[in-house]
Every structure is written in C-alpha cells, then in structure tokens.
A and B are shown apart, each in its own frame.
Chain A
Amino acid sequence: MDPSQTFSSSPELANFVVSSGVLNQSLATVQDLHGEMINQNEHPVRHKVSQQPNCTFIAFSTLPACGKDYIQERGDLVSSSTLKESFPLFNFLSNKNNPDFSINKAALELFASISDRLPTLKSQIDNSKVLIITGNSFGGSVATLFTLWLLETIDFSITKRPLCITFGSPLIGDNGLQNAIFKYPTWNSCFLHVVSDQDPVPRVLISPHNPPATELASQTNVYKPFGTFLLCSESGCGCFEDSQTILELLTATYSDGPGNENPNQVLELYRKIVEYLNCKVICGDTTGLLQWTTLPLRAGIIIQLVATRLMRPQLQGQNNGLDNLITKIEKQETKLAESRRQGFDPSKKLNKMKINMAYLEWYKKCFKEKGIGYYDSFKSGSSQSDIKVVEFKTILTHYWVDMVDEAEKKPQKEGASFRTRWLGAGTNFRRMIEPLDIAEYYKGGGQDYIKSGRPVHYKKLEQWLKEKPASVPNKLKKQNVASSLTEDSCFWAHVEEAHISCKLLSSGESSDMEKELKKLLEFENYVYGLMKYYAVSPEIFLPQSSFMQWWKEYKEIMGTSYSSNLSNLMKDHDKYAIGSLEIP
C-alpha cells in the first residue's frame, strides 16, 4: 500500500471559524460596549452581557484606551508565587510538574479590579446556552483571564465549553502559563485570538530575540502564546496552533500600517477585516491553483501563508526565502499532530490494562493457596513474584492516575466522568491494587492511611462508583464470595489501624484507653457489617493474614469469655467462603 499522505486542516479550520459567523457577533458586542456613553469616573474595566437565543456573549473593554506604547510600558510579569496569598484565583493552574507561571501584571490588576463582579457575572451564564467571552486589546486580556477562571469553576460534564475570542490582544503569560493550559488540550481549545497584520498591539510583548526552540526550557519571563491564532490580512486568514510558529508569524506578518492609536479605529479595522472575510468564504481563495507540484501538507501550509500575505500568489515557486519557513512549519505541524494522536485509542489501552489485571489476579490466587493472601505476602515482601507484582502495579497505577486526572478535566461523556466500561475496570483496579498501596504505606511506618495517605485517584474512583445506584446482595453473591474482591478497598487500612490500637492497649502506652477501645469496637462492627453483606473476601481468614493476627491479639485483650456479633461469626468463618454462613 502507498504510504498515506498527510494534510494540513488549518486552512479549512480557518474557513470554518469565519463562516460560522461567531466573529461578527462577538465583534458586534464589543463595538456595542465601546459605543456606550462613558462617564467621568468610570471603572477602568467595563463589561456587557448580551443574551442571544442560543448564545450568551460577555464582552470586556478597558479604559483608558490603550495603544502600542501604553502596553509596551506595562510588560511586567507577576509570578504565581507572589499571587498565591494575595490573589489565589489562579492557584489551580499550578501543579507538581509545573509549579510556577507568570501573568502580565497590568492585565491581572485589571482583572483583579472586577473580582467583586465575578459572582454576578457567573450567575448570568445560562448553562443551556453556549458562552462566548470576548474583548479587544486589554479587554481581550481580561476576557482571557475571566475564561481561565471559569474553566476551574464550571462543571463541564454538564455545560459546553466556552469560547474566548480576543481581537488584537497582547500576549498575556509566560511558558509556565502556556504549559498549564497545554496540559489539557480542551482548555487550549477555548481560546481564539484574532490578529490583523496591521495591528501592532498583539506583537508588542514578543521579546525581540525569540530564542530558538532548544533553549525554551531555560527561558523564563518571556511571553508565550496559547490557544489558536487567526492571522488575518487583506488576502484572507490562516489559523495556527503551534506556539513557535505563531511567534514567528506574528513578527513576520506585521505590515506597518497607519499606526492606529485610537481604539475605535482599531476596532473599525477588525470590523472591516471580519466583514471582508465573511464575503470571501464563498469566493475561490486567492492562492488559485498552485503552479508547481507539491505534496498536500506543504500545499496546505502555502495556502495559509498566502492568506496571511507572507507569500504572494504570483511569486510561488520562486525562491523568495520562505522555503525554510515552510519546511519548519511543516515539521512543527507534523510534530504537534503526532503528539495529539498519541494515546488516541483509549479502548486499546484499557484492554492491555485488563490483561495486566488478569496476571495480578493469578498471583493473588497463588498466594491464597499458600495460605497467606496477597496483601500479607506483599507486605512481607518475601516472595519472588512480588517483584512481578510491583511491575504490574506500577503500570496499572500510572494508567489510572492519568485516566482519572484526564476524566476530571474532560469528562468522557456528558453528565458522568467515566464511561461504564472504565468505571467497572477502575473499580476492579481499586479493589485489587489499593490494598498493595496500603501494605506499602504501613510497612513504611505510616499511620492513618485514609485521612493522610490515600492517593486522590482512589478517592475519585470510589466517589464516581458511589454516584451510581447500588443493589442488594443475593444468594448468588454468597455462593460466589470465594472469588470476589473485598468491596471496600480500604479494608486493610482499617485492619492496620485496629492492629495499632491493639498494640497501644496491650502495651499500655495509650493515653486514652477508652478511645482505643471504642475504635476497636467500631472496627468489629465494621467487619461484621461487611460479612453480613458478603462484601469482604474470605481471604482475610487465611491462617497467616494480618486480620487473623489482629483477631488473635484482640481476643487476648478482651478475654476468652468475650462474646459479640463478630466473635460468634468467627467461630465458623470457614463456612463464609462457601456462602453457607448464616449471619443474623
């Protein structure tokens, strides 16, 4: 078979953006806002909410109207570490891998100045409608920050993602902010920046010597773009997503028009462009027909460069110094698309994980035959196969941590975080693997796992399961209990805690004997409850299990005459495994 050809869908995406008509409507709202009368003592940030039948528009604009020089003087960045206490709204953007980021100080101050308006604004958002947030120049920067704030506060399992459209806005943050947004492609997809080739404002904060890509990692305090950029000219428009390409093209496409300082004129410039683009969608593109043979991907890029006026149609094929740029864009586009496609096949991966689970299940069974149970065997770390178990556990944990994190940010389906298949497999994973984490935790001397040691992915998986309705146990469940997993994946943590309480009691070290005793009684009832519902695996009764160890110690403390619900059951717990234990 022939190798498959690749294409650049960007020219089509640009066309789709224009023909959808959202640019007109957004810009109209911004213009309405600018047209409103301005009082003497007006707040520097104004906004307007416009309710359309299917869509809500929120536009922002700032005072004073700011031109290129005004913004150039306000290029300072403020770091997230300084904001942590004073302005915590964006703390959610920090994470372990990407702890710090910086935002343009002036834009942030403008946004901070409307903090008191945020609840009112949010209340005007109608979940049943789609939401567009827009603004030009610094107004667009405020719109961007407002959108970012929404991304954290809105539950996207029930609401559609908003779209933020800026017109001629300066760059707003450094590569830290960029990384925070790139982490979730859906977040990045909420931003569309419209830039005219005649508008200097979007370009002022680009550092004059943009470093080559290899030095990027070490670069801080340099502005970086995110989202999709729609670069417009009199020849059309092209859209770009790769950040390095955007930086290069922002600089290269700038044609020094009449230095527009008056914001109304700048708005007028955008109005004309949008109107022109709208007319153009039904016309053949200016590229016409290429004059020489070229591959599809390259042809797509050339179409975009012609649309941004970097290339002239009549100059095609001549050496106009753009070949290097085209090749570079080609490489960057390919790389971006590749990285996006990775991990694209969720189902394939899930099935691989299930095979890993099958292996673990097998190990579990082998330990059971040795009379020790996989929890205690793993805790003692004495078996050769434990190494294998660790291997599978690591792979599985990696997978589920990622899945849970991703599902939180981008629900798999509307209204629920996980599709049923994932929830089922995730529950199995939790019940099988969490005991191993608990084993490691207590082996390392940890205490109070549930409160202070439990990883977040287990909590989420459990929470999502609980959101589904449960059923009552039946006879079949009793018969099958031998092969089932303990439902409460934290069971062993409870055992360990009970174990600790016992130790404290018998050594007399505890300062509050009553409290420890109470805890033990609670644990006893907890186990009784589990057994009653056949929710615990009979493996806990294996002779060498920690649970039986505890039971022995507990009986010593309570004395031989001690009788309780649980002690009655424990007399013939072997019946439990075959489902014939009658539990009152």
Chain B
Amino acid sequence: MASLKVGENKEINTDLIQKACSLAVKAHSKSSQKSYILEKTGGSSYVIFSFPGYWSENDWYDGEPFGETKINLDLFPSLRSIGIDEHAKVNKAFQQRFVDKISRNQDFIKEVEKAKNERKQIVFTGHSTGGSIAILATIWFLEKYWRSDASATSPLCLTFGCPLTGNHIFSHALRREKWAPYFIHFVMRYDIVPRILLAPISSIKQEFQPILQFLNPKSSRASTNTPPEALNFYMNVMKNASSVASHAACKLMGNTNLLLETMANFTALSPYKPFGTFVFCTGNRKLVILSNPDAVLQLLFYSSQLDNEAECPDVAQRSLQQHFSYGNELKDCFTKLDADHAVLLESLEKLPLSADSTTTSSDITTINAALKDLGLSTRARLCLCAAGELEKRKIGNKNSIDLKKADTAMKYLQEYQLSCKHQGLGCYDAFKIHKSDKDFEANVNRLELAGIWDEIIEMLKNYDLPDAFEGEKEWIDLGTKYRHLVEPLDIANYYRHLKNNDTEGYTKKGRPKRYRFTQRWLEHAQRLPAGSCGESCFWADVEELRIKTSSKEGYAPFKDEVLQLEEQAMKWINDGVLDKDVLMENSTFMVWWKKQPDPLASCINDIEGFTITSA
C-alpha cells in the first residue's frame, strides 16, 4: 500500500487520499439537502465525512471587507492566544454554515460518536468551501472529544482547493495545541480558490459573481470555456496576494524601515493565514510539501505568479480550471510515487537560493527541481528561507531565556520566605514593612525575575516565541511556581508604595502581565474557567477589602465579599496553592480578619492546623 510522507513521522495512505478526494467532489453533486455525506466501508479502519461547498458571494464575504469575524469560543475554546487572550478570527460565512448545518445536526453528532466509540479514524474532507467546513468540523471534534479522551483515535482533515479559513491566531492556536499536523491541504499550483480571500471583496466585486457561477459544479455551465472575467479576477486577486506576501516577507526578514508601518496604514491587508500541512501540486506530477505557515503564505503567492506578462491570459484560465483537476492530478501523482515526486521541504533556512548546478548532492538537486516546477525565483526562495530562519530564531529566543539566573533568584526568594516565617511574620508582611537588608535583597531578586518574565511576555506579545510555548508543561509549571512565590511580594510593593492612589486597585489596574499570563496558561491547560486560579492575588483581595471595610459603611455592605474571601482562602490553603503563612498571628490578613464581626463563625477556623497558629 502506497503512502505519502507529509511530515517527519506522518504518512498517509494514498488510497485514502484519493477516496477522500472523490468523496469531496461527490458531496457537491448530491442533492442539495444533504449537508454532509458519510462513507463507511465495512472492515476499514476509518470513516469519511465529506462536506459540500457553497457558491454565492455571501457564502464567502459576509460583512467585513475580507469576510472575517470573531471565532465562536463556545464551540472552539482553544482558538485564541492564551496570555494575550486575543481571539482568533474566522471567515464569518464558513463559521455560520458550520453552526447552522453541522454542529447542531444530531444525525451528524450521532455518527461521529459512533465512529469514535468504534475506535475508527475519522476523516473530515471537503473540496473548495466544503474544505473549510471540514476544517471547522475537525477542530470541533478535537475540542469536544479529543481533548478529554486521549485514547481516541486522532482525526484527519483532508482538503482540496480549500480557501483560507482563519487568521494568524487561528494558525497559532492550532500549532500550540499540536493539532496542526492533522490538517492536510492539497493546493494546485494555479488554483485561484485558496488565494481568493487574500483580496478584499471591493477589489473583485465586479468579477466575483460570474466566477462563482463558473466554479459552481451544480450550475449548468453554458460551456466549459472560462468566463471573460477570469483575467481581471486573476490579476486582482494576485495583486492583493502580492501585497500580503511582501508585507509578511518584510516582517520575516526583520525589516527596520518604519516606512512599512506608515504604508500599512494606507493598505487593507487580508487577515487570513494558512495552517497545517500544505501539499502543492506542481501540475506535472510532482508534490511539494511544507508546513511552515509563513512559508506557505509566500508560496500561495509565488507559485501562481507569472513568468512573464504574455502568459497572463493562459494562467488566468488555468487558475480556474485547476480547481477541478485534483482527482486526476493526484491519481497521476500516486501511480508513480517515489522520492523524486514528493519533496518534503523542512529546514527551509537552508534552501538553495540559486540554480547552482555544480552541487552533487542529490537532495539539493531534487529540491531545486521541485522549486523550479513551482516557478520559484531567487526572490521567492529568499522569502521561504526567511520563514525558516524566523522559525529557528523563535526557538533561539526561547533558548536564550536566562533560566539559570531565574533559578538563583527563585532560590533566594524561597529561602527568604522560610526565614520570614521563622521570624514570625509571613513574607508578605515582612516585605511590606521592608525593614531589613534581607527585604532589600529580596526586592532586587524580585526585580531580576520581573525582568526575565517581562521579557518573555514582551516576546509573546510580538509572537517571537515558538507557537507551542504557552502550551508547554515545563513553562506552565515554572510560571505557576513563580506566580505563587513572587506575586505576593509585588502586591506588597504595590500597597507599600500606595500605587493604588495613582492608578486603581492592584487586581484591576496594577497587576503585571507576567502574572495575568501565567495564570491563564494554567487555567487553559487544566481547562478551568477564566479567573479561577487567582490564589496568588489573595493579598490584593485582602488589601482591597481592608480598604472597603475601613470606610464609613463598615463591614455590612461587604459581608458577602468577606465571606467569599474566607471560603476561597480555605480552599486554596487546603489545596496547597496558598501558603499557610497568611494565617500567622501578625499577618495583615489575620489582624484585619479578627477585627471583623464574628470571626469565630468563619470557615477559616476549620482549616487544619489553624488553631495552633492562633493559640
């Protein structure tokens, strides 16, 4: 059985690909009531769900110039950046279609669950806009079943000539969750459909209707001739694709000319970005496979670029015709599939920039031939190379984080915490009073750590770290440990300097991003609701309540808040996420708490070991 190697450890059966491809096309032609078709062959290890496409302008662009909208986080809770908490964007019409026709379709859900329970691999597939529905169905499956059931068989999503569907955060989130490898997109060299959403509707409005008419397999086409609008359509889409590609390339290449920023104010750029593995079909039985999203974006433009102006009418026609040739092309490819015919582009930063024929390395020769088949000039190769280099630099950024220094500072603060306790005062209060040399040393260490973590946050904000970063256990644990140990000191510092007077309460305005981010990491990893891991803010809650209850109104109006704080404190202490030193006799918390009416009725008294400290 032949298979296609699409990644380091990933191979896909070519029969499956071909079957999916023919089903993807078949889904269109079925009666229009069907929102999906299902193929289960007895005995096979997989089932295939295939989704039809849709062909009106509103099925592409609904509202915004590029037809995008915020992702539905109820359906796709992972599709956001965690720390920054920026939500992904998705094509509005595609998402709507998915919500209306698939996610509420009980038959569909039943079939999916049945297949899952039978431990079959579920393959979602689609051609054209059907591919976008397949993508959303796959993510929905991953969110709903895969995250909670690690024993389930991983799904697979195969798309053919599918338009771009989500933005850079969409891509970022799928890579963070390590879901991107489940998506394989086949793209013909000139097929215009995967590129259309790089252009705003305003730039193609005139031509779009007749083009969609042509692309619709259900429409009764007068002839197989491409419509006269093809030329302008191709040129307009490509001009916009060029803008997007060069803007992205400038960033990949570390542009320092601020003109780019100024210019970007004048140009509306498509928000869409690829994700997953792309298999480019050169049109002469060769496949070029890569999964770096930045590189794919460049390739989407460069591979369908013209060699010279004279080719334009011809290429414009092909840009439509190739949308229908996936079946034949893949069949041709797979009948004779060997190493020369499917080239996996990894280490992009080492791509050959020239057609230097002196090299004897057969790898380079193969890659060179494949790149040539996609028509890639030196300039295009530079862009791919820069995309590879950027990926490498992100890893470099991660490795350059000074963990040793952080570790030393953490150790100091751990000892500081212990020594404070020995002297009868929790480190929060000791630090707040700031009397001894040790407190000063602790402050310097706190600031050292703040420096390291703020740098990490700054890199995250610029997406300068690998996409996987915020999902890595090592970092989540480190962040949590840091937050538990050091945030109380930050709070102490905040209330010591009365910064709440210049700004507002710590939790609202003063809390540094390094703590907000790390808390969100943990909440996301453990699938807890936002805000549920706020134990490191305990002291800020205490301080804010102290302020409130010290006002004229006194305790009464804040009774519920006080009770809530008490309950939380107990839970946190019992869970071991809040240090017991908060219960020491002279702590700000205890001194305040004892002043509140009826402290003995409080649940705090139930905490194990509490009576000893208060005795």
Instruction: Determine the chain B residues whose CB is within 8 A of the CB of A340 once the complex forms.
Output: 256
Question: Measured between C-beta atoms, what is the minimum distance from B482 to chain A in Å?
Answer: 15
Are B356 and A420 in contact, with the CB atoms below 8 A? no
Instruction: Determine the chain A residues whose CB is within 8 A of the CB of B546 once the complex forms.
Output: 476
Are A4 and B434 in contact, with the CB atoms below 8 A? no
- Interface membership of A358, Cβ < 8 A: yes
Which stretch from A81-89, A289-297, A375-383, A551-559 is at the chain B interface? A289-297
A13 and B242 contact, Cβ closer than 8 Å, known pairs A163-B266, A283-B306, A483-B496: no
Are A293 and B352 in contact, with the CB atoms below 8 A? yes
Are B356 and A337 in contact, with the CB atoms below 8 A? no
Question: Measured between C-beta atoms, what is the minimum distance from B385 to chain A in Å?
Answer: 6
The A-contacting residues of B in range 226-280, CB under 8 angstroms, are: 235, 238-240, 242-243, 246-247, 249-250, 252-263, 265-267
> Among B240, B254, B309, B399, which residue has the most Cβ atoms of chain A within 10 A?
B254
B-contact bits for A307-347, CB 8 A (1 contact / 0 none): 00000000000000000000000000000110011000101
Instruction: Determine the chain B residues whose CB is within 8 A of the CB of A347 once the complex forms.
Output: 454-455, 457-458
A22 and B455 contact, Cβ closer than 8 Å, known pairs A12-B246, A189-B258: no
- Interface membership of B308, Cβ < 8 A: yes
Are A20 and B263 in contact, with the CB atoms below 8 A? yes
- Interface membership of A9, Cβ < 8 A: yes
Are A189 and B261 in contact, with the CB atoms below 8 A? yes
Are A293 and B454 in contact, with the CB atoms below 8 A? no
Instruction: Determine the chain B residues whose CB is within 8 A of the CB of A12 once the complex forms.
Output: 246-247, 249-250, 253, 255, 383
Question: Measured between C-beta atoms, what is the minimum distance from B465 to chain A in Å?
Answer: 14
- Interface membership of A446, Cβ < 8 A: no
The B-contacting residues of A in range 279-306, CB under 8 angstroms, are: 279, 281-285, 287-294, 296, 299-300, 303
- The distance in angstroms between the C-alpha atoms of A19 and B382, with both chains bound, is 19
Are B262 and A287 in contact, with the CB atoms below 8 A? no
Closest to A285 in B: B379
Are A475 and B502 in contact, with the CB atoms below 8 A? no
Which stretch from B56-64, B389-397, B412-420, B601-609 is at the chain A interface? B389-397
- Interface membership of A470, Cβ < 8 A: yes
Are A7 and B257 in contact, with the CB atoms below 8 A? no
- The distance in angstroms between the C-alpha atoms of A415 and B90, with both chains bound, is 29
The B-contacting residues of A in range 185-204, CB under 8 angstroms, are: 185-186, 188-190, 192
- Interface membership of A132, Cβ < 8 A: yes
> Among B255, B375, B393, which residue has the most Cβ atoms of chain A within 10 A?
B255
- The distance in angstroms between the C-alpha atoms of A303 and B379, with both chains bound, is 7
Closest to B371 in A: A289
Binding site secondary structure of chain B: helix
B-contact bits for A481-494, CB 8 A (1 contact / 0 none): 00111000000000
Are B547 and A476 in contact, with the CB atoms below 8 A? yes
- Interface membership of A253, Cβ < 8 A: no
Instruction: Determine the chain A residues whose CB is within 8 A of the CB of B375 once the complex forms.
Output: 284
- The distance in angstroms between the C-alpha atoms of A4 and B392, with both chains bound, is 8
- The distance in angstroms between the C-alpha atoms of A424 and B512, with both chains bound, is 12
- Interface membership of A11, Cβ < 8 A: yes
Are B379 and A483 in contact, with the CB atoms below 8 A? no
Instruction: Determine the chain B residues whose CB is within 8 A of the CB of A336 once the complex forms.
Output: 256
- The distance in angstroms between the C-alpha atoms of A471 and B267, with both chains bound, is 42
A-contact bits for B392-434, CB 8 A (1 contact / 0 none): 1100100100000000000000000000000000000000001
User: Out of A186, A278, A480, which one reaches B258, CB within 8 Å?
Assistant: A186
- The distance in angstroms between the C-alpha atoms of A293 and B358, with both chains bound, is 10
Are A352 and B451 in contact, with the CB atoms below 8 A? yes
Are B386 and A289 in contact, with the CB atoms below 8 A? no
- Interface membership of A66, Cβ < 8 A: no
Instruction: Determine the chain A residues whose CB is within 8 A of the CB of B380 once the complex forms.
Output: 284
Are B503 and A355 in contact, with the CB atoms below 8 A? no
User: Out of B253, B259, B389, B510, which one reaches A228, CB within 8 Å?
Assistant: B259
Instruction: Determine the chain B residues whose CB is within 8 A of the CB of A189 once the complex forms.
Output: 257-259, 261-262
Are B378 and A16 in contact, with the CB atoms below 8 A? no
Are A354 and B450 in contact, with the CB atoms below 8 A? yes
Instruction: Determine the chain A residues whose CB is within 8 A of the CB of B259 once the complex forms.
Output: 13, 17, 189, 192, 227-228, 239, 241
- The distance in angstroms between the C-alpha atoms of A5 and B247, with both chains bound, is 20
- Interface membership of B361, Cβ < 8 A: no
Are A303 and B309 in contact, with the CB atoms below 8 A? no
Are B266 and A132 in contact, with the CB atoms below 8 A? yes
Are A351 and B266 in contact, with the CB atoms below 8 A? no
Are B447 and A485 in contact, with the CB atoms below 8 A? no
User: Out of B260, B306, B382, which one reaches A300, CB within 8 Å?
Assistant: B382
- Interface membership of B118, Cβ < 8 A: no
Instruction: Determine the chain B residues whose CB is within 8 A of the CB of A17 once the complex forms.
Output: 259, 263
> Among A21, A284, A348, A480, which residue has the most Cβ atoms of chain B within 10 A?
A284
Question: Measured between C-beta atoms, what is the minimum distance from B254 to chain A in Å?
Answer: 7
Are B257 and A9 in contact, with the CB atoms below 8 A? yes
User: Out of B249, B263, B378, which one reaches A9, CB within 8 Å?
Assistant: B249
Instruction: Determine the chain A residues whose CB is within 8 A of the CB of B550 once the complex forms.
Output: 474-476
- The distance in angstroms between the C-alpha atoms of A16 and B239, with both chains bound, is 10
Are B254 and A6 in contact, with the CB atoms below 8 A? yes
- Interface membership of A157, Cβ < 8 A: no
The A-contacting residues of B in range 361-393, CB under 8 angstroms, are: 372, 375, 377-380, 382-383, 385-386, 389, 392-393
> Among B242, B258, B259, B352, which residue has the most Cβ atoms of chain A within 10 A?
B259
Instruction: Determine the chain B residues whose CB is within 8 A of the CB of A287 once the complex forms.
Output: 377-379
Are B434 and A483 in contact, with the CB atoms below 8 A? yes
- Interface membership of A427, Cβ < 8 A: yes
A289 and B389 contact, Cβ closer than 8 Å, known pairs A9-B250, A352-B451: no
Closest to A469 in B: B504
User: Out of B252, B265, B498, which one reaches A480, CB within 8 Å?
Assistant: B498
- The distance in angstroms between the C-alpha atoms of A496 and B356, with both chains bound, is 78
Are A289 and B243 in contact, with the CB atoms below 8 A? no
- The distance in angstroms between the C-alpha atoms of A1 and B547, with both chains bound, is 54
Are B504 and A289 in contact, with the CB atoms below 8 A? no
- Interface membership of B305, Cβ < 8 A: yes
- The distance in angstroms between the C-alpha atoms of A282 and B232, with both chains bound, is 12
Instruction: Determine the chain A residues whose CB is within 8 A of the CB of B325 once the complex forms.
Output: none
Are B250 and A13 in contact, with the CB atoms below 8 A? yes
- The distance in angstroms between the C-alpha atoms of A16 and B253, with both chains bound, is 14
Instruction: Determine the chain A residues whose CB is within 8 A of the CB of B257 once the complex forms.
Output: 9-10, 13, 189, 228, 239, 241
- Interface membership of B44, Cβ < 8 A: no
Are B451 and A348 in contact, with the CB atoms below 8 A? yes
Instruction: Determine the chain B residues whose CB is within 8 A of the CB of A337 once the complex forms.
Output: 254, 256
Are B253 and A279 in contact, with the CB atoms below 8 A? no
- Interface membership of B509, Cβ < 8 A: yes
Are A471 and B501 in contact, with the CB atoms below 8 A? yes
The A-contacting residues of B in range 425-463, CB under 8 angstroms, are: 434, 440, 443-444, 447-448, 450-451, 454-455, 457-458
Are A20 and B451 in contact, with the CB atoms below 8 A? no
Question: Measured between C-beta atoms, what is the minimum distance from A418 to chain B in Å?
Answer: 12
Are A351 and B497 in contact, with the CB atoms below 8 A? no
Are A484 and B497 in contact, with the CB atoms below 8 A? yes
- Interface membership of B344, Cβ < 8 A: no
- The distance in angstroms between the C-alpha atoms of A471 and B399, with both chains bound, is 44
A292 and B354 contact, Cβ closer than 8 Å, known pairs A13-B250, A284-B305: yes
A-contact bits for B501-531, CB 8 A (1 contact / 0 none): 1111000011010000000000000000000
Q: Report 22 cross-chain contacts, Cβ distance below 8 Å, ordered by A residue.
A: A4-B396, A7-B386, A9-B253, A13-B250, A13-B260, A16-B250, A16-B267, A20-B263, A160-B265, A189-B259, A279-B309, A282-B239, A283-B305, A283-B307, A284-B306, A289-B378, A293-B353, A294-B354, A299-B353, A345-B458, A355-B447, A477-B498
Additional A-B contact list (7), CB under 8 Å, known A282-B239, A291-B356, A294-B354: A7-B386, A16-B243, A132-B266, A287-B379, A354-B450, A475-B551, A476-B543
Nearest 9 pairs of A and B residues by beta carbon:
A189-B258, A351-B451, A9-B253, A7-B253, A340-B256, A9-B255, A16-B246, A290-B354, A15-B246
| Residues of A in contact with B (beta carbons under 8 Å apart) | 1-2, 4-13, 15-17, 19-22, 55, 130, 132, 160-161, 163, 185-186, 188-190, 192, 227-228, 239, 241, 278-279, 281-285, 287-294, 296, 299-300, 303, 336-337, 340-341, 345, 347-348, 350-352, 354-355, 358-359, 361-362, 365, 420-421, 424, 427-428, 465, 468, 470-471, 473-477, 480, 483-485
